[in-house]
Amino acid sequence: MIDDAYLWLESLDEPEAARWVAERNAETLAALADEDFTRTKDAIREVLDSSDRIAFPSWCGDGFYYSFWKDAEHPRGLWRRTTAEQYRRDEPEWDVLLDVGALNEAEGENWTWSDVTVLRPGHDRCLISLSRGGADASVVREFDLVRREFVTDGFVLPEAKSDVGWIDADHIFVGTDFGPGSLTASGYPRVIKRWRRGTPLAEAATVFEGRVDDIVVRAHHDATEGYERDIMIRHPTFFTSEYHVGPTGGPLERVDVPEDADCQVHREWLLVRVRTPWTVGGVTYPGGSLLATRVGRDDFTVLFRPDGRSSLNSWSWTRNHLLLVTMTDVRTEAHVLTPGEPEWTRQTLPGAGEYAQVWIVDTDPDRDDSYLIAAEGFLRPTTLSLGTVGGPVEVLKRQPAFFDPAGLEVRQFFATSADGTRVPYFVVGGEKPGPALLSGYGGFEIALTPGYDAVIGRGWLARGGAYAVANIRGGGEYGPDWHRAALRENRLRAYEDFAAVAADLVARGITTPEQLGITGGSNGGLLMGVMLTRYPELFGAVVASVPLLDMRRYTRLLAGVSWVAEYGDPDVPADWEFLREYSPYQNVRAGRSYPPAMFLTSTRDDRVHPGHARKMAALMREQGHEVSYHENVEGGHAGAADNDQAATIRALALEFLWRRLAR
């Protein structure tokens, strides 16, 4: 039995818990929502609603660019499309396919846009996922792209954490809540069925199953002409997978690759990205490598091999070429690789420019070798370009500057962690020391790369504050080894890295402990909680958004059990021994001095339970510490369902930090 006086705050619907949340929200707004807050919020809202933002295509195909767009007049957003020629214009003519706000008004709902899956190759139907208030769970409804309406008696799934994909115009793969036993312990699909149009979901035939203790199973149909096949993926843990491939409707065969590898098939090619060293065909390939071979063979070609400073960030196929984005000391580069015999050829991909971060926005591998590429930096607004492998590159959009970069510069430093590891971090700011805001994540092999954040620019840099990003272990900045260095029992390495960066900022004269604030969300919110309770003397204020904080109960709350491979299992005594060492909720003490803290979360977050933030805030209040709390009713794990909510949350955090650090 766990002794937890605030267990009742894990209830989402109990009146007592709802009353507690309402009281805390009112206190926080009363303390912060003044004229300065309004100015900050309005400045942020202006950025979020600006028509000068780039309308990034969410999908390209059949001659159209599709985009989901929010602004002041359409807070819930428009799903729309335009032609490639129109998209080149400063003010394209958009064809609105779905107005989510109008749908809400017509149906009396609070839908938010979640996802869309378009039928290939017809491109005339799609499956739209809509969630209530921004939750991960969503409903799925078939939509006619020609008639611009939902299909009467089409494919429809009730609210669940579903996985759906087209097979052909009359069949889809479905993973959803089919009833008892159909979900994993994490609450995701365990069973994949093939559902035929016009038949009840209950009659859909099971085609693939995972285990209850898996994370999730997924299905995909490759409709590439001449290479049609079904692909089923089972994820036993967050970082392991089994890939099963077979002809359409035929028997499946497991792809013979390591469980901790990622793989992808494209036409005749199989790509494998290994996380740990793999020996095959008498050759050992180091972890972090990307390998290629023809499907059915094992004579691999190394497309990327990491070294001590580089890692693979992402890859995308065009019809005939492979686009790679790599990182060296957290600065990205793009390359184009062309299959050949006996060697693949490699060239620098045009369109990246002299930017700190580039990424491939989209390709259309069914059609051609074109690609959309975006580039940006901390002080350089985004540029979106259209290129064709071997051909010209055309700048389509340039986002304007939303804050004045004059007097600001970007610098990269390396701090030395407790075990001697060099930890990179970026600093954006002027020459004078003063308030600084440090952000980090350090988990799930996710890299934090230099990006243009207009909200930070307006709400922090323009006031004279410095902004820093720490690339600590646990992330993906240096590939799988960098991630693995802070897994499970080694988690403290990530926290030591972040503390080392904080100390280095002070040692370099950029700020002081009293003027150094920190912020992070989700796993980064856990990072903030650990910094608060383990290194309070290093900071002047802390903001944790949608955080994990109670590592004793995290596996019993929503999707928490799916992260055991990252953190460990608190129900296993040996794991709890290292988890209890840093779990913030179990380590906050009444007699210790902590910097002021703010916890932000969402009632509709069905990934990281709001109970984490609620309980931590309640316990700290009881112990007499300075703590602020705000819980948005909507927003899911993103914390906000529209631009007004997002502006409110960001303004609360920045005002809280500025008032405590700039005095």
335 HSE (CA, 13 A, CB side): 17
Q: Which two tokens stand for residue 660?
A: 């405590």
Q: How many helices (H) and strands (E) does the chain have?
A: 13, 39
**SS3 letters for 340-364?**
CCCCCEEEECCCCCCCCEEEEEEEC
pTM for this structure?
A: 0.96
Give per-residue pLDDT as tens, 308-359: 899 999 999 999 999 999 999 999 999 999 998 778 999 998 765 556 799 9
What's the Cα-to-Cα distance from 600 to each of 96, 398, 528, 651, 660, rounded to whole Å?
Answer: 34, 33, 12, 12, 17
Q: What percent of the chain has pLDDT over 90?
A: 95
Looking at 221, 266, 609, 637, which residue is catalytic? 637
Q: How confident is the model at residue 3 (pLDDT cuts 50, 70, 90)?
A: confident
Pair type for strands 541-545 and 597-602: parallel
Give per-residue pLDDT as tens, 268-299: 999 999 999 999 989 999 999 999 999 988 89
174, 162 contact by CB (below 8 A): yes
Residue with tokens 């599709």: 66
Query: Taking each helix axis from N to C terminus, what angle separates 523-534 and 611-622, rounded to the nearest 10 degrees?
Result: 20
Which class is 403-661 in CATH?
alpha beta
Say whether 630 is catalytic: no
**pLDDT of residue 15 exceeding 90:** yes
Q: What is residue 342's predicted lDDT score, i.e. its pLDDT?
A: 79
Give per-residue pLDDT as tens, 443-479: 999 999 999 999 999 999 999 999 999 999 999 999 9
DSSP string, 203-249: GPEEEEE--TTSSEEEEEEE--TT--EEEEEEEEETTEEEEEEESTT
Residue 36, Ramachandran bin (φ over 0: left; ψ between -120 and 50: alpha; else beta):
alpha
Give per-residue pLDDT as tens, 624-653: 999 999 999 999 999 999 999 999 999 999
Q: Mean pLDDT, the chain, as a whole number?
A: 96
Q: What is residue 125's predicted lDDT score, i.e. its pLDDT?
A: 96
What's the Cα-to-Cα distance from 355 to each of 128, 359, 408, rounded to whole Å?
Answer: 35, 11, 16
What's the Cα-to-Cα distance from 264 to each of 9, 236, 245, 247, 468, rounded to whole Å?
Answer: 43, 18, 10, 16, 35
> At residue 356, what is the residue type?
A
DSSP string, 290-355: EEEEETT----EEEE---SSEEEEEEEE-SS-EEEEEEETTEEEEEEEE--SS--EEEEPTT--S-
User: Which H helix or E strand runs over 118?
Assistant: strand 111-118
Q: What is residue 663's predicted lDDT score, i.e. its pLDDT?
A: 76
Average pLDDT over residues 69-81: 96
Q: What is residue 215's predicted lDDT score, i.e. its pLDDT?
A: 97
**pLDDT of residue 307 exceeding 80:** yes
Looking at 522, 545, 562, 602, which residue is catalytic? 522
**pLDDT of residue 96 exceeding 70:** yes
Query: Taking each helix axis from N to C terminus, what angle separates 611-622 and 15-32, rounded to the nearest 10 degrees?
Result: 70
Give per-residue pLDDT as tens, 490-537: 999 999 999 999 999 999 999 999 999 999 999 999 999 999 999 999
Give per-residue pLDDT as tens, 582-626: 999 999 999 999 999 999 999 999 999 999 999 999 999 999 999
Say whether 637 is catalytic: yes
Q: What is residue 59's predicted lDDT score, i.e. its pLDDT?
A: 73
DSSP assigned state of 604: T
Domain ranges, ordered by start, for the chain: 403-661
Q: What is residue 1's predicted lDDT score, i.e. its pLDDT?
A: 47
